[in-house]
Amino acid sequence: MKRGLSLQAALAAYRPDAELAPLPEQIDPDRLLSFFHPDHLRDSVTTLTVGPNAGAHCQRELAGLLQAEAVIDEVDLAGAPVTDTDVLVIGGGGAGCAAALAAAEHGARVLLATKLRLGDSNTVMAEGGIQAAIEPGDSAQKHMQDTLRAGHHAGDPALVAAMVGDGPEVIRWLIRQGMQFDQTASGDLHTRRAGGTSAPRIVHCRDYTGLEMMRVLREAVAQHRGIEVWDQHPAVELLSNERGQKCVGAVLSSLADRRLCIVRTRSVILATGGLGRLHLNGFPTSNHLGATGDGLVLAYRMGARLCELDSFQYHPTGLVNPPYLSGKLVTEGIRAAGALLLNAQGQRFVDELQPRDIVCAAIIRECREGRGIHPDTGGVGVWLDTPRLERGQPGLLERQFPKLLARTRVAGIDPRNEPILVYPTLHYQNGGAVIDVDGATTVPGLYAAGEVAGGIHGRNRIMGNALLEIIGFGRRAGIAAALSGHDRGPKKITLEHVNRARRALALAGLPLDRRAPQLLPPYTAAGKNS
């Protein structure tokens, strides 16, 4: 990487009213991505040798976890208490809560188990908003085209159609749960335009959309008479029938005392979210502490097919400064509102509302070619020009982006006067478990919803589709799981799938000393005990 300007020099040269040269001619997007997007880094991708996706490309660090040994064995289960329920939801973010509520609405007894606290998730941090085609000039068809195109046509059209068709009903359902959205003076829902879309379609609650959604859903779940919640109980393994071909429950571990317990159930819904805390390719992340890809590991060992395991979203505008907020997001909503990106020379270099992968690759190009800005505390970035936005629309930041101001206030930065230094941050897992429109994986009895599921966003997600997906598919999975399997439940619970996976590892000559799921990132000193 060529060195650009120091932060002090760049700040001294910065003027919010400086004349901007026209945007330079853009190179072919595919070339840009192949040279600069982190998915295309040399050595970042390998080929899986065992499991349902053997032979497929996979990000290297993720492959290590997918081809690892289970953390428990049959002997560990002796004496573990057994709980019976109709539907087990693993994960307490937006998708898990939507699934639990939908299953309970359809008469199921629901147990929701979550690794940290109910609501500790990526959902709570989502800022920009949620997509729903509700404006007069917009349509579900356009929403579908935007989603497929931004995903480089790798998404499953049937899943995308289901998601966009659910959009308006999802918003109504959220309002019925008690979620607020910003309105125009006439009472319409206020909409913004996201990068890579053809119409304003993002509805939002200031820049606190995820917080508003999560606290409402958390309260709805906690207050629901048909749902039981177990905090601090991560799933460490799934359970299968004696042939290892149907999911019949899960093994949970208490974070407090590490004791194991068995949950026996008709259906399991994985809603475990993403894997930003694996810090793939050494990137910082916007994700919450628990995002360690557990759901992918459990599903893969159980035999569920996954997809797009070599495709991740690096959000273009992660914070660089201060270090403790490194990788945390500045919402795309601010670019949707008109904020520009400038390099160290104070010039634009990309259309800011291109899809996220393009903008991300363009920022990395600027920094690698010596047009980045380097703070003393390490790292590199480009300017997000908030002062110019504020000059053009005085008061906008305070009205629409209170979260950004509150967060930077703690760090002693005022984005109304000073541009924000940003660099791409590991944000989202584009792929995941293969599902159908009911959220069913390729393993009977096992459902997946939210970020852990794949097939919707193709190889790049547009803003606002994550919040839509978690509610839309969370509810679909919850309903299907509640109504499925009116047999008399599982007769025998086993770890047959674990034995099968171990045999496959041994046959392939892969090491058996690595174990997964990881549950918490290593820097939390999770293994240390007093």
Tell which positions 141-170 bind another protein, by CB under 8 A: 141, 144-145, 148, 157-158, 160-161, 164-165, 168-169
Show contacts with another protein in window 278-297 (CB under 8 A). Answer: 288-290
Site for another protein in 33-92 (CB under 8 A): none
Q: Any contact of residue 307 with another protein (CB under 8 A)?
A: no
Whether residue 446 contacts residue 305, with contact meaning beta carbons closer than 8 Å, is answered with no
Q: Does 508 bind another protein (CB under 8 A)?
A: no
Site mask for another protein (CB under 8 A), range 312-351, x = bound: ----------xxxx--x-----------------------
Question: In the bound complex, what is the minimum distance in angstroms from residue 160's beta carbon to another protein?
Answer: 7
Would you state the structure tokens that stand for residue 65, as one six-digit string? 């976890």
By CB under 8 A, what part of segment 405-424 binds another protein?
406-407, 410
- 16/165 with CB nearer another protein: 165
The amino acid at residue 135 is E
Nearer to another protein, 293 or 346 (CB): 293
At closest approach, how far in Å is the CB of 483 from another protein?
A: 20
Residue of the chain from 77, 99, 211, 462 that contacts another protein (CB under 8 A): 211
> Least distance from C-beta 64 to another protein, angstroms?
19
Distances (CA, A) of 264 to 409, 488, 491: 48, 12, 10
Residues β-bridged to residue 110: 87, 227
Segment holding 421, helix H or strand E: strand 420-429
Q: Is 191 helix (H, G, I), strand (E, B) or coil?
A: strand
Is residue 369 part of the contact set for another protein (CB under 8 A)?
Answer: no
Between CA 12 and CA 473 the distance in angstroms is 49
Window contacting another protein (CB under 8 A); options: 82-90, 111-119, 381-389, 419-427? 111-119
Note whether 16 binds another protein by CB under 8 A: no
Three-class HEC string of 410-421: HCCCCCCCCCEE
Beta-carbon-side half-sphere exposure of residue 233 (alpha carbons within 13 Å): 19
**What are the Cα distances from residue 181, in Å, to 3, 319, 399, 528?**
44, 26, 14, 43
Q: Which stretch binds another protein (CB under 8 A): 25-33, 174-182, 445-453, 504-512?
A: 174-182
Using CB under 8 A, pick the residue from 69, 86, 120, 357 that binds another protein: 120
Pairing of strands 382-385, 432-434: unpaired
- The yes-or-no answer on residue 315 being catalytic is yes
396 binds another protein (CB under 8 A): no
Map residues 465-504 to x or -, x wherever contact with another protein holds by CB under 8 A: ----------------------------------------
Catalytic residue among 201, 218, 233, 315: 315
Task: Please pick, from the candidates 10, 99, 124, 350, the single residue that binds another protein as defined by CB under 8 A.
Answer: 124
Choose between 76 and 219: whose C-beta lies nearer to another protein: 219
335 flagged as catalytic: yes
**Residues near 509 by Cβ (< 8 Å), separated by ≥ 6?**
none
- The single residue among 231, 351, 436, 496 that binds another protein, judged by CB under 8 A, is 231
- Nearest one of 175, 201, 163, 147 to 355, comparing CA atoms: 147
Please report how close the Cβ of residue 478 comes to another protein at its closest, in angstroms: 16
Q: Is 260 in the site for another protein (CB under 8 A)?
A: no
**CB nearer to another protein: pick between 188 and 242:** 188
Which segments of 106-182 does DSSP mark as H helices, in order?
Answer: 140-150, 157-177
Determine which residue in the list 6, 44, 232, 281 makes contact with another protein, applying CB under 8 A: 232
> Does 459 engage in binding with another protein (CB under 8 A)?
no
Residues 6+ apart with CB under 8 A from 370: 1, 2, 3, 4
Q: Which of 181, 312, 314, 428 binds another protein (CB under 8 A)?
A: 181
Closest to 453 measured CA to CA, from 64, 61, 94:
94
Pick one of 28, 75, 412, 523: the residue that binds another protein (CB under 8 A).
Answer: 523
Minimum CB distance to another protein smaller for 302 or for 466: 466
Asked if 11 and 383 count as a contact pair (C-beta separation under 8 A), the reply is: no
Closest of 162, 196, 213, 204 to residue 472, by C-alpha = 162
Edge to edge, the sheet with strand 420-429 lists 312-319, 420-429, 382-385, 340-342
Q: Tell me how far apart the alpha carbons of residues 392 and 386 are, in angstroms, rounded to a whole number.
A: 10
* Token pair listed for 393: 């629309």
Closest CB to another protein among residues 189, 251: 189
Give the nearest distance from C-beta 179 to another protein in angstroms.
Answer: 6
In angstroms, the CA 325 to CA 285 distance is 10
**To which residue do tokens 């289970």 refer?**
70
Partners of residue 269 on adjacent β-strands: 89, 447
In the complex with another protein, the residue whose CB is nearer, 259 or 503, is 259
Please, where are the H alpha helices in 151-287?
157-177, 209-223
Instruction: Out of 204, 266, 335, 500, pick the active-site residue.
Output: 335
Active site residues: 315, 335
